């Protein structure tokens, strides 16, 4: 469970619970030296759990990949509203200028 997004971890917990697969969870501990993981209580349920998790991960991968490909590029955002885009860029430049003015003056 180390480096697993919380929404994915919660989805896996719900998936296992929905299919009556009993598990327990261990955490990394105070110094993050333990193994954060989900552990099955019964070895006989391993194949079922593995198949469910593999299927979930394949679907999640495809969904996130599709979301990535559907994301707008900067050029598309510019074409939708060039005025708003230019105002935002100008605002960012002004904030950066005033933020870095002290360092620039050296």
pLDDT digits (tens, 9 = 90+) for 59-87: 999 999 999 999 899 999 999 999 999 99
Contact 5, 57 (CB under 8 A): no
CATH of 1-71 among 3.90.1570, 3.30.70, 2.20.25, 1.10.10: 3.30.70
Domains of the chain: which residue ranges?
A: 1-71, 72-106
User: Is 80 exceeded by the pLDDT of residue 48?
Assistant: yes
Contact 16, 23 (CB under 8 A): yes
Regarding pTM above 0.75, the answer is: no
3-state secondary structure of 23: strand
Q: How confident is the model at residue 45 (pLDDT cuts 50, 70, 90)?
A: very high
Q: How confident is the model at residue 56 (pLDDT cuts 50, 70, 90)?
A: very high
% residues pLDDT > 70 (the chain): 100
Distance (Å, whole) CA 106 – CA 104: 6
Distance (Å, whole) CA 10 – CA 13: 5
Distance (Å, whole) CA 78 – CA 33: 47
């Amino acid at each position: 469970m180390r480096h697993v997004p919380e929404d994915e971890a919660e989805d896996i917990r719900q998936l296992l619970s929905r299919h009556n697969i009993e598990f327990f969870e261990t955490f990394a501990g105070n110094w993050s030296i333990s193994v954060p993981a989900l552990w099955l209580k019964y070895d006989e349920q391993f194949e079922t759990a593995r198949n469910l998790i593999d299927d979930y991960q394949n679907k999640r991968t495809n969904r996130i990949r599709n979301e990535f490909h559907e994301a707008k590029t900067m050029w598309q955002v510019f074409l939708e509203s060039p005025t708003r885009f230019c105002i935002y860029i100008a605002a960012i430049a002004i904030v950066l200028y005033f933020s870095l003015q002290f360092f620039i003056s050296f």
